[in-house]
Chain A
């Protein structure tokens, strides 16, 4: 079950883990990629050596994953929050038997490590990473995100999002309104904006710098993925059989805000999206297992690779944008070095 070079596309390595890939993340230095697997493992792939190490992080399924300088933080349906080092050594940070840990968040600076357990956020504070439970939120947490600089942590829940800035055990949460059931949550790279997908086929944007918020609507289905562009002026979303990008800079007149739509793919919905960290490019994984690379400048997208699965579940760029990794519901996963 290790990665093998693709016969046709240079730089591409494929594998099949034989288990649902719930998430993938690069280490901040880009040297190691982790894949969270439905069999409880966290698989660590080191491209330089071609080695794959399987860490037995969880008893049931690994449900979520985030990368930070301390290692990879994962949550499982065994109720455990585990930190897996780059060498594959695991350390249990907290355990809540009988519960599911469905969301974890970490930032590249290493300042914030957090997880969600039902209605509560677990914040791992100090050098010892001691777990602290924040006060219960009004409903089960639907999404958890930390800003890349670690200055803000936010959780989405029914009827709103609660923001903790700075994220410390004693910080009072600031409740931002947002009617209905709120799901996946992301920050813009500068931390000035948040976007949250809802159960009602829409996306809500919170412009924290401007203290403004608005809805993006018109999707045929629920939006499963969100990603801000590297400059934070575009928000890429799934929920369509195409790439959908919304201009979200404060300079855009809200009434004239129009989505850029390209790369129409009639065979499946966009289920995973990742904006390039440096260039105006965006990678998107469509249902059916095909990954496209889209260009904002040219407003088109070209197929990059095909994975043998029904759904692309995750896509992520290395911090320098030279590598792309992703996984699927059927276990197929890839690592692509675009520079060589």
Chain B
């Protein structure tokens, strides 16, 4: 039985999430959606199967703050399984202040949910007009961008091209793996939103080639201390050292490392070694094989608060194959 795809729509209050939701629902796509909303807002949602779900954050692993899941989602999705057949995809609209990390972790930490559903995409709608103020006042505005695989810069008709470029730059700097599309009233082709498979580790991709920055890596500091660190290495890494390093890193710094992703060149393997993580949760897999003449380069991105660039750089460099570990 195929896992049912779930598309998460996040973004600040008034950014245009409900407009986007209605746009998706009104298009003639031949799909039956179940819609989960936090509360029934002023704008009606035109769909047969709509469920309201009050955000309930549950801490896992004896109260570890970064191992939180959405208890309400486990319940609502568990209930929807019983109506299997009456819908073939789910749209989940979050509150403006929702933490996408807890949503992503719900899909990786609960077996029943994992068994029946798959997280297809986290789409963040950004109000281009208000974003500078939102991000200055609330860390959540930036965090929602961090977890997105698709960022819709909405209401672009209200800002100058220069202001839009600045916002794009901000988004790129804290999440250079997300796809960015612009819109005035969320007029985004539905094909952009659905079937993204963004959290399927076997299809892990970085944005534009080379967008992770120059060799040796770089980092940017921003409001609220959120930054991204992109690193690349030419020398092959030792897979078991790399695994140990990542596990220890996230155990120690999982609270402040929001996300990590990597497509790595490891010794003794024809395939790419890929990883992705959300806080302490880490997933690793073997990716596609390298092409014959392709230049094998390891690329990793860490996004979080107060990241130590040198520690990450040196830690990964120490995973190089054929060298004694210091």
Please report A residues at the B interface, Cβ cutoff 8 Å: 19-20, 22, 38, 60-63, 77, 98, 100, 102, 118, 139-140, 142, 158, 179-181, 199-200, 221-222, 224, 310, 329
Q: A158-B56, A224-B112 are in contact. Are A179 and B83 (CB under 8 A)?
A: no
Q: Which of these, B52, B62, B81, contacts A98 with CB under 8 Å?
A: B52
Q: Which of these, B54, B59, B60, B79, contacts A61 with CB under 8 Å?
A: B79
Binds A, one of B67-75, B165-173, B174-182: B67-75
On whether the beta carbons of B63 and A180 are closer than 8 Å, the reply is yes
Say if the beta carbon of B84 comes within 8 Å of chain A: yes
Which residues of A sit under 8 angstroms from B29, Cβ to Cβ?
Answer: none
Q: Which of these, B1, B49, B62, B75, contacts A200 with CB under 8 Å?
A: B62
Which residues of B sit under 8 angstroms from A62, Cβ to Cβ?
Answer: 82
Q: A140-B75, A179-B63 are in contact. Are A60 and B58 (CB under 8 A)?
A: no
By beta carbon, the residue of chain B nearest A119 is: B54
Q: A98-B52, A200-B60 are in contact. Are A38 and B84 (CB under 8 A)?
A: yes
Say if the beta carbon of B234 comes within 8 Å of chain A: no
On whether the beta carbons of A200 and B61 are closer than 8 Å, the reply is yes
* Alpha-carbon distance A199/B70, docked complex (angstroms): 11
Question: 6 new A-B pairs (CB below 8 Å) besides A61-B79, A140-B54?
Answer: A100-B76, A100-B79, A158-B58, A158-B71, A199-B74, A200-B62
Would you mind naming 21 contact pairs between A and B with Cβ atoms under 8 Å apart? A19-B85, A20-B83, A61-B79, A63-B79, A63-B82, A77-B79, A77-B82, A98-B40, A102-B79, A139-B71, A158-B56, A158-B71, A179-B63, A180-B63, A181-B58, A181-B71, A199-B69, A199-B71, A199-B74, A200-B60, A310-B1
* Alpha-carbon distance A158/B63, docked complex (angstroms): 12
**How distant is A86 from chain B, measured CB to nearest CB, in Å?**
24
On whether the beta carbons of A180 and B84 are closer than 8 Å, the reply is no
Which residues of A sit under 8 angstroms from B51, Cβ to Cβ?
Answer: 77, 100
Say if the beta carbon of B137 comes within 8 Å of chain A: no
What per-residue 1/0 map shows which CB atoms of B77-98 lie under 8 Å from chain A? 0010111110000000000000
By beta carbon, the residue of chain B nearest A140 is: B56
The list of the 6 closest CB pairs from A to B, nearest first, reads: A181-B58, A38-B82, A20-B82, A61-B82, A61-B83, A221-B111
* Alpha-carbon distance A222/B63, docked complex (angstroms): 17
Say if the beta carbon of B187 comes within 8 Å of chain A: no
On whether the beta carbons of B75 and A102 are closer than 8 Å, the reply is yes
Say if the beta carbon of B157 comes within 8 Å of chain A: no
* Alpha-carbon distance A139/B75, docked complex (angstroms): 12
**How distant is B11 from chain A, measured CB to nearest CB, in Å?**
24
On whether the beta carbons of A199 and B79 are closer than 8 Å, the reply is no
Query: Considering residues B69, B76, B85, which has the most beta carbons from chain A within 10 angstroms of its beta carbon?
Result: B85
Say if the beta carbon of B110 comes within 8 Å of chain A: yes
On whether the beta carbons of B62 and A179 are closer than 8 Å, the reply is yes
* Alpha-carbon distance A19/B82, docked complex (angstroms): 8
On whether the beta carbons of B60 and A199 are closer than 8 Å, the reply is yes
By beta carbon, the residue of chain A nearest B112 is: A222
